[in-house]
């Protein structure tokens, strides 16, 4: 098989991955893309998440390709919780080919307003209503957890990159030993029609963290890359109702692609980044937004 043949270039069969926040939304989309292509995926989520059900679903999805899933509880709000997640994986694996650090939260101001039409008093009241602890928790989950989890699992990622491959090369030459961090296009624009100040700030920090970690891990070529999804349906971002938590309304129709992102969009870019096809990509973030950022800066 030629090295540029698709089954060779994008193959991830037999690899081991960890996906945080993998029980719904983007994380579940990515997990499905991995198990469908023969990856053993550890999926962690909160105690309130349907971990058992998702594990069963993913094992069914991966049945024909040899992919499998193991679900477990993880708490990413502290170093202790992150260390427990690391110990869960390392008790079962000698190396980790893929870390998808995906878990995230969004905390909007309790008093909402339309920043485009609100009076000065309404805007100030809305912004001030944002809870201090929401900002703290957002940074803990959306930024700090990526840092500590990547560091906790670094030796397993290095071990994956050091694997001897049948063609005489190393695992890192085939894309093994990679961290993919989920950011957001909220880090790339300052659209004024929605108020996601704490969320966007954490994601901007995450984008820079990608480069910082990649630089620190460079001697072992443990790659660190980011993905910046646009509108993607999830528990955190319900879409289609225009009411309640669906703060986006009809904005999806203003995206050049005229649709929200889906499983194929997220799984496709991740399969590229974690396979031989993307083995030369390091320290950078890729927007998957259907063109949203082409017009979102400072506009509706």
Look at residues 131, 181, 187 and name the one whose alpha carbon lies nearest to residue 153.
181
* Other beta carbons less than 10 A from residue 284's beta carbon: 14
Q: What is the pLDDT of residue 48?
A: 94
The residues of the chain scoring below 70 in pLDDT are: 1-2, 191-194, 234-250, 297-300
Distance between CA 60 and CA 123 in Å, rounded?
49
| DSSP H or E run through 258 | none
Q: What is the pLDDT of residue 134?
A: 96
Q: What is the pLDDT of residue 120?
A: 96
Q: What is the pLDDT of residue 242?
A: 46
Q: Is 47:23 a contact under the CB 8 Å cutoff?
A: no
- Write down the pTM of the prediction: 0.93
Coil, strand or helix: which one is 129? coil
Q: What is the pLDDT of residue 220?
A: 98
Q: 99-120 burial by CB neighbour count: b if 16+ within 10 A, else e?
A: bbbbbbbbbbbeeebeeeebee
Q: What contacts 22, CB < 8 A, 6 or more positions away? A: 28, 30, 31, 41, 43, 44, 45, 54, 100, 102
Give the domain 6-294 fold: Rossmann fold (3.40.50)
First-to-last C-alpha distance (Å) of the chain: 49
Q: What is the pLDDT of residue 192?
A: 62
């Amino acid at each position: 098989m030629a090295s540029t043949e698709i089954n060779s270039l994008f193959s991830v069969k037999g690899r081991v991955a960890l996906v945080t926040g993998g029980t719904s939304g983007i994380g579940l989309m990515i997990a499905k893309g991995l198990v469908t292509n023969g990856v053993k995926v550890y999926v962690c989520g909160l105690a309130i998440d349907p971990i058992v059900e998702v594990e069963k679903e993913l094992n069914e999805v991966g049945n024909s390709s040899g992919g499998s899933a193991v679900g477990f509880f993880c708490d990413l709000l502290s170093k202790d919780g992150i260390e427990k997640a690391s110990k869960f994986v390392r008790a079962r694996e000698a190396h980790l080919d893929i870390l998808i650090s995906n878990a995230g939260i969004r905390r909007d101001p309790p008093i909402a307003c339309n920043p485009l039409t609100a009076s000065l008093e309404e805007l100030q009241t809305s912004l001030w209503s944002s809870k201090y602890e929401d900002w703290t928790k957002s940074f803990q989950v959306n930024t700090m957890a990526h840092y500590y989890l990547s560091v906790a699992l670094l030796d397993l990622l290095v071990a994956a990159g050091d694997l001897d491959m049948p063609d005489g090369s190393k695992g890192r030459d085939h894309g093994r030993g990679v961290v993919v961090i989920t950011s957001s296009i909220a880090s790339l624009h300052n659209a004024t029609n929605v108020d996601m100040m704490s969320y966007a700030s954490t994601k901007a920090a995450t984008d820079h963290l990608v480069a910082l970690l990649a630089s620190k891990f460079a001697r072992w070529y443990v790659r660190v890359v980011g993905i910046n999804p646009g509108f993607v349906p999830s528990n955190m971002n319900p879409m289609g109702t225009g009411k309640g938590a669906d703060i986006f309304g009809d904005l999806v129709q203003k995206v050049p692609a005229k649709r929200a992102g889906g499983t194929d969009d997220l799984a496709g870019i991740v399969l590229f980044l974690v396979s031989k096809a993307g083995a030369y990509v390091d320290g950078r973030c890729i927007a998957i937004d259907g063109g949203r950022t082409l017009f979102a800066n400072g506009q509706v």
